[in-house]
A and B are shown apart, each in its own frame.
Chain A
Amino acid sequence: MIIGIDLGTTNSLVAAWDGEHARILPNALGNFLTPSVVGLDDEGQLVVGDIARERLHTHPHLTASLFKRYMGSARETRLGARVYRAEELSAMLLRSLKADAERALGEPVHEAVISVPAYFSDAQRKATRIAGELAGLKIEKLINEPTAAALAYGLEQRDEATFLVFDLGGGTFDVSILELFEGVMEVRASAGDNFLGGEDFDDLLVEHFIAKIGAADLPDLNQPAITQRLRREAQRVRHALGQAQAARFTLREQSREWHLELTQGDLTTVVQPLLDRLRAPIERALRDARIKVADLDEILLVGGTTRMPLVRKLVATLFGRIPAMQLNPDEVVAQGAAIQAALQARHASLEEVVLTDVCPYTLGIETSMQVGGGFQSGHYLPIIERNTVVPVSRSRNVSTLSDNQKVVRLGIYQGESRLVSNNIFLGELEIPVPPRKAGEVTLDVRFTYDNNGLLEAQVHLPINGETRRLVIENNPGVLAPEEIAQRLAALEALKVHPRDQQINTLLLARLDRLYQESLGEGREYIASLANHFQQMLDTQDEHQIREARSDITQRLVHFEREI
């Protein structure tokens, strides 16, 4: 069985094809959405999802969130005694999702299709693949999120259509334009912004709150606990403003409280810079696909952040029509990934549909150009243009620059600028060449971009028939194979918090958080509830624990509504 996983910035989901539908599989707590937060509990055991999210406030040094943003970079996060890379943190999450799937399906799972933002770079895709490996999953395919969403919408059942997927998630923004004909789903163009999502909206709200209240007046903002509390509150306010006209932004610390009333108008003003940034990728995708807005048959909204009426209104204005949102925007990507997984397994119940995707970036090498009498280095020679259909293999010829040159250094870059200094460096290869006169030694540089969005460079020297393959080295964002093995061993040694206790642990963690957040009487109330629950847990009587749990959960719902 191949499962489909949506590895999100804020939330992750796992889904599987049951023969008729793509079904979202619930986690140990019975929820479909698993927050993309991991951490260690007091015994050093791994906790994932809702529990970790609660502990983000009470134990910020033992929990990590938003790590998808650091995929493909060398950045490390400290959890307790050790530092972890984004791949490892994602692997912990994937491991938990895998366990959830195995439990729901009742069979072991070894393979998965993982969705990634269409605008993810080579390094980010590799990192995702490695994360899967570290979690003990064979990654059958990486599917682009907008493409997955399109699959889930079942658009392949239509004859012929062109549509645009607007995918605004927790941390990334993707636009894809897809064309459908004769059972072929073809991505025409993809564009996006890897650092634009719901979390950025929250950041702006937090900044606004701080600016309005005045930083001098507030407690030390560098405390991780305060930061987390502000972020959570910002998210709550943002969600609340989706329906209510106004909401109150509150921060409590020890015995003090700060308030800020926010209306929908305020929210629009605060996030306007982000809304403006949504424009450019859409424009670029439309240009690259050479498509008129009038020719688009449908606009699909995908990703949790598109639930914001603000965003939907903007999309409606931009396109002059009502966007489609029949499916739950949180779940649609995971469903699509599951459908892709079933397609991969050639599931008989699925009508055959062939998907073709594009590479979102231009890939090329550094060359020198003759300027006046001399040569100027640092020019970009594109080999694969952006939005070329993949898999694709293209080659260009380059030659040596000076007499008796012994080595050619080939810099590989990704980006759109004519100067490599403005592009992203991917790797470098030194190729020894036989010393000849300038220009006599030619190199045939071939780039192969496979279906999963991974790049391989190959250099062929016709002069001596040598061929070299480029394993992109020197890239700090990608782990080397031996390092992967080492980290895999370290991760496997990590104990996981027992699954059947998760629901109780979550309640305790939640009580902990509320205790920290509330004041005076409320605080005492929470403390008494926590004590009561702890006593019940100590009795080890399953029946009593369940009753206490539902009772306390209800009380907490009331409690939280009141404050």
Chain B
Amino acid sequence: MSHWQLLSLTPDADERSIKRAYARLLKVHRPDENPDAFQRLREAYETSLAEARWRAQADEETVETPLAEPLPPAPEEVDIPVRDMHVERIEIPTVVSPPEPSLGQMAQWLVEGKERQLMEALRHWLSSEWLVPFEHRQQFEQCVLDWFESAPSWSPAFFEGVCQAMGWNEDQGNLPCAYWRWDRLIRHCEVQAFEETLRSDLDRFDADKLHGQAAALLLKPMSDARRRAMADHFTGLDWQRFTQLAETIEYQYPEVPERLELQPLDNWRDWLPATSYRGVSLFLWFALSALLVATLFTVPVNRDEPLAVLLMPFLMPILLWLGVKLYHVWTYVAVAAAQFDVWLSQRLVPRRWYRQGAGLLVLRHVVPAAVPAALACAWSDGAPWLRWVSPAVVFFGTLYFTQLALSGGRVSIWGRAARAIKLKIGRLPWHLLKREGVLAVLAVAATAAWVYSKLKAVA
């Protein structure tokens, strides 16, 4: 049942007939006798009234009363008829004219940013006799609100000062306008404040290159090499600030960089340091183990070798750990040569993987990937195709998983698949194991079973 039906009206009813219908039904659904029915009626009434008023407002332009219009001339002294009391005389003081400067002048000042001057004028107005009657006060208040809404920019401190002077206080529920209007002003304030801090951060960076690095990395236009070098020297705290700033801009103040005529990095997530290289390790472990098992097919086996091959996957992590340590040493060299690295990578690495210096770099990632590839080449005996295919698979696989790890917040295909599986079987105690743990257990079990059957066949 629509709110119109509840009032037995058609949707084009005017305010008067809505009120009449409400009054009629109110006698039936009295608030003290049937609160539930009353509430339904009340809600229908309020909704209908709001719609009717909105329609009426859309139909005709609202006529605004000019502020300077004086009050209707009140008689200076009036006898009030008072029953049971002696007759009193009350005089209404009449005020001649609004104070100076004019409202138009003040609005102009706000646009020109003369806040101090405006504040003084505002105080002068507020202390004047002219604003004592509520009618003038209400009009004045709306006027001040209009200034704030139409002026392109003003400082939050000034707005706060005005709030104090005008007695606007959100905590006490004293707001001059509807919430949505007020929230817009508050948001404007927050944007201004944010803009201020951002600007001062960037200025500080320009001055000493020590402070405001997070803002600079995110917003300053600079060469890839320069940005890479800067990011390499970021500490954990710097990254935290960087993330916070980037998220704040993205979610709360997307318009601020434009106001400062800056363009934030659109791929800022790529720049975040990789949280884990587990994907790479897992891939290498799996690929190299698979390679060893594959050699069992391609070469004639002697009796001891299958056992050694069976043990190999379990020893592999030690090998990988050594490799990681070696890689860490290498990164010192690579970071030192960052400038050359970026220059080289710009030319050699595909754009999708290079990502303006945030992705794969030749010295840092591509060269080290050649090491496991060489290992694969060395381990693949027997079939010549394996000798060619295996290094290529290992090399590109390593690169793929490395760039995946570098791509920060994005989730890989594997990650998504694993999550989907996890959701499906989430009710089982599986979730106690980590994602990699599940894969490892499955892989080991499968390999062992298969090798066992093979051995049996050989025997």
In the complex, how many residue pairs between chain A and chain B have their CB atoms under 8 Å apart? 121
Indicate with 1 or 0, residue by residue over A79-108, a CB within 8 angstroms of chain B CB atoms. Answer: 000000000000000000000000000000
Binds B, one of A121-129, A252-260, A324-332, A472-480: A324-332
B88 part of interface (Cβ distance < 8 Å): yes
Bound complex: CA A448 to CA B35 (Å): 10
Interface check A439, CB cutoff 8 A: no
A451 touches B32 (CB 8 A): yes
A534 vs B234: C-alpha distance when bound (angstroms): 98
Interface code B161-187, partner A: CB below 8 Å = 1, 0 otherwise? 000000100111111100000000000
B30 and A326 contacting across the interface, CB-CB below 8 Å: no
Identify which of B132-140, B193-201, B262-270, B443-451 touches chain A: B132-140
Interface size range of chain A in the complex: 35 or more
Least CB distance, B251 to chain A, in whole angstroms = 11
B92 at the interface (CB under 8 A from A): yes
Indicate if the CB atoms of A390 and B90 lie closer than 8 Å: no
Residue of B nearest to A281 (CB): B174
Within 8 A of B (CB), among A315-335: 316-322, 325-328
Q: Is the CB of B135 within 8 A of A294?
A: yes
**A318: B residues at CB distance < 8 A:** 132-134
Bound complex: CA A316 to CA B135 (Å): 12
Contact present for A184 and B38 (CB under 8 Å): no
Known A-B contacts A184-B23, A325-B82, A450-B35; A313 and B90 likewise in contact (beta carbons under 8 Å): yes
Instruction: Bin chain B's interface residue count.
Output: 35 or more
Interface string of A275-309 (1 = CB under 8 A from B): 00000101110110000111000000000000101
Chain B, 43-90, CB within 8 A of any chain A CB: 65, 71-72, 74, 78, 80-86, 88, 90
Query: Does any Cβ of A come within 8 Å of B300's Cβ?
Result: no
The answer, yes or no, to whether A183 is at the interface (CB within 8 Å) is: yes
Q: Does A393 contact B (CB under 8 A)?
A: yes
A354 within 8 A of B: yes
Give the distance in Å from the alpha carbon of A418 to the alpha carbon of B132 in the complex: 30
Let me know if A422 is at the binding interface, CB within 8 A.
yes
The docked-state distance in angstroms from the alpha carbon of A293 to that of B140 is 13
Nearest CB of chain B from residue A192's CB, rounded to whole Å: 13
**A326, B19: Cβ atoms closer than 8 Å:** no
Residues of chain B with a CB closer than 8 A to A293's CB: 133-135, 138
Q: Which of B7-48 contact A (CB under 8 A)?
A: 19-20, 22-24, 26-27, 30-32, 35-36, 38-39, 42
Chain B residues with CB below 8 A from A182, complex form: 19-20, 22-24
Complex CA distance for A352 and B23, rounded to whole angstroms: 11
Q: Is B350 an interface residue (CB 8 A)?
A: no
| B90 lies within 8 A of A312 (CB) | yes
B236: Cβ under 8 A from any A Cβ? no
| A270 to B35 CA separation, bound complex (whole angstroms) | 48
CB-defined interface of B418-432 with A at 8 Å, one 1/0 digit per residue? 000000000000000
Of B42, B81, B135, B175, which is within 8 A of A320 by CB?
Answer: B135
> Which B residues lie within 8 Å of A283 (CB)?
134, 137, 167, 174
Is B134's CB under 8 angstroms from A280's CB?
Answer: no
Q: Find chain A residues with CB under 8 A from B24 CB.
A: 182
Indicate if the CB atoms of B27 and A322 lie closer than 8 Å: no
One of B20, B23, B42, B172 near A389 (C-beta < 8 A):
B42
Tell me if A356 counts as interface (CB < 8 A to partner B): yes
Is A369 part of the binding interface, using a Cβ–Cβ cutoff of 8 Å?
no
Closest Cβ of chain A to B77, distance in Å, is: 10
B71 touches A320 (CB 8 A): yes
Residues on the B chain within 8 Å of A327, using CB: 83
Query: Across the two chains, which residue of chain B brings its CB closest to A423?
Result: B171
Residues of A within 8 A of B72 (CB): 320
**Interface-central residue, A243, A372, A389, by most chain B CB under 10 Å:** A389
Residue of A141, A286, A354, A392 touching B26 (CB-CB under 8 A): A354
Cβ < 8 Å to B, chain A residues 402-451: 416-419, 422, 448, 450-451
Complex interface: chain A residues within 8 A of B304 (CB):
none
Q: Tell me, in angstroms, the Cα distance from A416 to B175 when the chains sit together.
A: 11
**A326 contacts B81, C-beta separation under 8 Å:** yes
Instruction: Flag if B30 contacts A354 (CB, 8 Å).
Output: yes
- Using a CB-CB cutoff of 8 Å, which residues 368-420 of chain A contact chain B? 372, 386, 389-393, 416-419
Of the candidates A286, A294, A418, the one having the most CB atoms from chain B within 10 angstroms of its own CB is A294
The one of B20, B39, B80, B135 that contacts A322, using a Cβ cutoff of 8 Å: B80
Nearest CB in chain B: distance from A181 CB, A: 5
B384 at the interface (CB under 8 A from A): no
A419 to B138, CA, bound (A): 28
A321 to chain B, nearest CB (A): 7
Contacting pair A328 B85 (CB below 8 A): yes
B104 at the interface (CB under 8 A from A): no
A284 close to B173 (CB less than 8 A):
yes
Contact A326 B82 (CB under 8 A): yes
Q: How far is the CB of B26 from chain A (nearest CB, A)?
A: 5
A182-B19, A326-B81, A391-B39 given; A282·B134 CB < 8 A: yes
Contact assessment for B83 and A328 in the assembled complex, using a CB-CB cutoff below 8 Å:
yes
One of A181, A286, A391, A417 near B38 (C-beta < 8 A)? A391
Bound together, the chains give a CA A460 to CA B83 distance in angstroms of 55
Residues of A contacting B172 in the complex (Cβ-Cβ under 8 angstroms): 416-417
Query: Bound state CA distance, A280 and B134, in angstroms?
Result: 11
A362 at the binding interface (Cβ < 8 Å): yes
The distance in angstroms between the C-alpha atoms of A450 and B31, with both chains bound, is 9
A325 neighbours in B (Cβ, 8 Å): 80, 82
Q: Would A418 and B175 be within 8 Å (CB), given that A183-B23, A390-B31, A450-B35 are in contact?
A: no
- Output the nearest chain B residue to A450 by Cβ-Cβ distance: B35
B31-A320 in contact (CB<8A)? no
Question: What is the bound-complex CA distance between A243 and B88, given in angstroms?
Answer: 9
Is B92 a contact of A322 with CB atoms below 8 Å? Answer: yes
| A309 in contact with B170 (CB, 8 Å) | no
Q: Which residue of B lies closest to A181 (CB)?
A: B19
Partner of B174, one of A280, A317, A356, A372: A280
| Residue pair B74, A321 in contact (C-beta under 8 Å) | yes
Contact A292 B138 (CB under 8 A): yes
- Chain A residue nearest to B26 (CB atoms) is A354
Contact (Cβ within 8 A) B138 A286: yes
Find the A residue at minimum CB distance from B89.
A309
In the A-B complex, the 7 residue pairs with the closest CB atoms: A416-B173, A182-B23, A391-B35, A417-B171, A293-B135, A320-B71, A293-B134
30 contacts between A and B (CB under 8 A): A182-B19, A182-B20, A183-B27, A283-B134, A283-B137, A287-B174, A293-B134, A293-B135, A313-B90, A316-B90, A317-B92, A319-B133, A319-B134, A319-B135, A320-B92, A320-B133, A321-B92, A325-B80, A354-B27, A355-B31, A356-B26, A372-B244, A391-B32, A391-B35, A392-B39, A392-B42, A393-B39, A417-B170, A448-B35, A450-B35
A residues neighboring B (CB under 8 Å): 141, 181-184, 243, 280, 282-284, 286-287, 292-294, 307, 309, 312-313, 316-322, 325-328, 352, 354-356, 362, 372, 386, 389-393, 416-419, 422, 448, 450-451
In addition to A286-B138, A293-B138, A322-B90, 8 A-B residue pairs with Cβ atoms within 8 Å of each other are: A280-B174, A293-B133, A313-B91, A320-B134, A322-B74, A354-B27, A418-B171, A422-B171
